[in-house]
Amino acid sequence: MESAANTPTARLETVQAKIAKTCKIARREVDEVTLVAVSKTHAAEKIEPLLEAGHRVFGENRVQEAQGKWPALKERFPDAQLHLIGSLQSNKAEDAARLFDCIHSLDRMSLVKALPKAFEKAGRQVPCFVQVDVGEEPQKGGCPIPELPALLDAAREREIPLAGLMCLPPADIEPAPFFALLDKLARDNGLDGLSMGMSGDYETAIMLGATHVRVGSALFGGRSP
């Protein structure tokens, strides 16, 4: 039995309050920051309380997992927005274009080539964040920094709608320098959106310009197996 302070709704209110407080300190408007509730690995019954509380933006890591639970949820909550925050395989691009409202993991030329075809088949354009490998960790995915201008040029040539840049800083290292780097890369390349910050560091990310924070455990507790 959950205590009143540990219900999904209470956790949502806590995170929203922290976002509002951080925005005030940073002299930013609270509506400049989108809270992406990361519902990966969590079943529909754990997501529903947040939807019923009025939250509408959610993040999933895998196309197949999202296909299993979100069509039914979207029938009940048609204004819910779904963001793909995990790596996208080119052969899943069309499925992603049909289900997701934003993609945070455009990171290589094969996707730049696959996504326009996927958008055409799906009959909709989906905004994309370009994921940048700010920590030089190839295992995490992300475009290497020296290759970023060329990837952005190719995406613009193919008329992929660019929402901004996204990063996953290295674990167990102070994230602020990586967030500041992503902000500089975005400004240098004429982009405004910054998808950065998770449960442990979203307040730091907001102070450094995040427009989208991807928060999971602070809202849902530990991941389901």
Half-sphere exposure of 187 (CA within 13 A, CB side): 9
Tens digit of each residue's pLDDT (9 = 90 or more) over 19-76: 999 999 999 999 999 999 999 999 999 999 999 999 999 999 999 999 999 999 999 9
pLDDT, mean of residues 149-175: 96
Sign of CA dihedral 162, 36, 148, 86: negative
Give, for 73, the enclosing helix (H) or strand (E). helix 63-76
Instruction: Report the C-alpha gap between 217 and 73 in whole angstroms.
Output: 21
Architecture of domain 4-213: Alpha-Beta Barrel (3.20)
Domain ranges of the chain: 4-213
pLDDT, mean of residues 1-25: 87
% of the chain beyond a pLDDT of 70: 96
Tens digit of each residue's pLDDT (9 = 90 or more) over 90-142: 999 999 999 999 999 999 999 999 999 999 999 999 999 999 999 988 777 89
Its pTM stands at: 0.94
